[in-house]
Structure 1
């Protein structure tokens, strides 16, 4: 009954407003992401402010880190930029295409290659570069069938760090304008993380 109640609340919840986030393709300005005059709310019927006094401007080509204690609203801010939160009175503008990596790793049933391409056509040169900068080459060498190895619920078990790097490779391959990464390195060891930065992952996105 508890599960049915949760499903009922979810199915009856109010849809997000389509223009919760204004998306402009190929803006002429230097701005990539702009948030003005928060507040906004997670709950669909709530008038209470989950986050307030939010003003954020990220320019194109910038690497921006959002830091704070657990529960301070870091993931909520990313959800707002994605258009997944109810705005109460604010302006959100995103210039260009967006790719997102969630805090919890998600791997689909399929090969490693399919998880990275995620429906896009194969560009062999870019694919190999993405595998390199995300430090997946050694992992693929250790898999019996390389990037054709089945992963996901019906495939081989992956470590948390491997899942996160495959997720990272997936969004890097998308070749978007803006990348939103929610604690994407939490399960990656310090040595591998250092290698990812040395490989200039940020240079190809």
Structure 2
């Protein structure tokens, strides 16, 4: 409630009807979850969460953002939504962006019931899911 308002001008937003084919463009942009201590920020000394982001997404492209937990996938999306402070660089978004974040949840039931989700138990499929979710080390503990 006491946080500073985000700068609406940090990201150049133009309608999708513009002639440009690039829907999202970022050039050497740094983003941070925190407002820099001084108004003239030195990118090299800032506590940037994302650094030197150069990205271009053309109309009609399908883009996947993949990486390990904590690599910055959600932060990158938040940056393009204008939810992070832009420290330096240029960012343009043409058209509208919709973002539905992943929300982890679990039913108040057994692990098996959460995986089967009302379907009959299938040991082979169950074990494939345990392996795919990398749950084996947790279950062994």
Interval containing the TM-score (normalised by the shorter chain): 0.5 to 0.7
Q: Does 1:22 align with 2:12?
A: yes
Offset of 1:44 from its aligned partner? 2.7
Say whether residues 1:33 and 2:13 are aligned partners. no
| Higher share in helix | 1
Segments of structure 2 that go 5 or more residues without pairing to the other structure are: 38-45, 105-113, 115-128, 130-141
Matches within 5 A, 1:169-188: none
Q: How many residues align?
A: 100
1:142 maps to what in 2?
none
Q: TM-score, normalised by structure 2?
A: 0.63
SS in 1 for 2:83: coil
Of 75-84 and 43-52, more deviation after overlay is shown by 43-52
- Answering whether residue 99 of structure 2 is matched by residue 100 of structure 1, we say yes
Confirm or deny: 8 A CA contact 1:13 1:44 kept in the other structure. no
Q: Cα deviation per residue 1:31-84 (whole Å; 9 max; x = unaligned)?
A: 010111121101134631111121000000000011111111110010011111
1:20·1:85 contact (CA, 8 Å) conserved in 2?
no
SS of the residue 2:77 aligns to = helix
The runs of at least 4 consecutive aligned structure 1 residues that moved more than 3 Å come to none
More strand by share: 2
Q: In the alignment, which residue of structure 1 is the partner of 2:54?
A: 55
CA offsets 1:4-41 (integer angstroms, 9 cap, x no match)? xxxxxxx2211100112111102211101011112110
Tell me the distance in 2 between the aligned counterparts of 1:103 and 1:27. Answer: 31
Indicate the SS of the match to 2:66: coil
C-alpha separation in 1, matches of 2:64 and 2:75: 14
Deviations 1:121-156 (A, max 9, x none): xxxxxxxxxxxxxxxxxxxxxxxxxxxxxxxxxxxx
Measure, in 1, the Cα distance between the counterparts of 2:2 and 2:80: 24
| C-alpha contact 2:30 2:87 (8 A) present in aligned 1 | yes
Partner of 1:175: none
